[in-house]
Homo-oligomer: A and B are copies of this chain.
Amino acid sequence: MTDKRSAKAAGRTEAIMRTTLELGQEIGYAKLSIEAVAARAGVGKHTIYRRWPSKGALFLDSLLSLNRPGLDYPDTGDVVADLREQIHMAIDLLDRPPLGPLYRALIGEALLNPQVAAALNDHFITPQAEMTVARLKAARDQGQLSPDFDLDLAMGILSGPLYFRALIIQEPLTHEYVDRVIEALFAGMGPRR
């Protein structure tokens, strides 16, 4: 492919993904269709199907294409402050409009479509979880956490209550709730008999 044709194809891909997000925000994921995206983006639907086999696959790539900065962990040396800052940023991005409703729909789609689930895990969930584990590991290596601190368990206890509240109970997340989860993770909620 010549550079010119390649640039044109890249521009079209970008336009399709941008249109998917715009339309998703306007009408919601449930009503979104590849036909409607094609019509608004001014391309044939087969152009879309050639690259994305399903609405879920198109939607996932479109969300990932945003590639927002800000979900990396700071490392100020204070693991509690760093966790708090990163998780506050993450919920501000993923639990609020415009992205919040689309992210929840994407998780729903992943639960119904194994291909979307695999791609979502590979490209977003696993890298995010690995960043949390890496930040906790740095704190452990620096002696801020005990040598037998269970990194994976801690990652689950940090992330789980937030997903549970947002997706299952369906109540909005707050910074205050994040802070209480972090506090409980480290301090425990004893006394235990």
Contacts and interface: CB of A to CB of B under 8 A. Distances in A.
Q: How many monomers of this chain does the complex have?
A: 2
A129 B181 contact: no
Contacts of A104: 111
Which of A112, A117, A146 has the most B CB atoms < 10 Å from its CB? A112
Contacts of A191: 145-146, 186
B170 A121 contact: yes
Secondary structure dominating the interface of A: helix
A77 to B, nearest CB: 10
A63 interface: no
Interface stretch (A4-12, A85-93, A153-161): A153-161
A24 to B, nearest CB: 12
Given A185-B189, A186-B189, A169 B129 contact: yes
A188 interface: yes
A163 B156 CA distance: 10
B105 A112 contact: yes
A187 interface: yes
Given A108-B109, A108-B110, A161-B160, A153 B168 contact: no
Contact of A111 (B107, B113, B169, B186): B107
Contact of A165 (B121, B160, B165, B181): B160
Given A105-B111, A105-B112, A164-B163, A78 B193 contact: yes
A180 interface: yes
A43 to B, nearest CB: 26
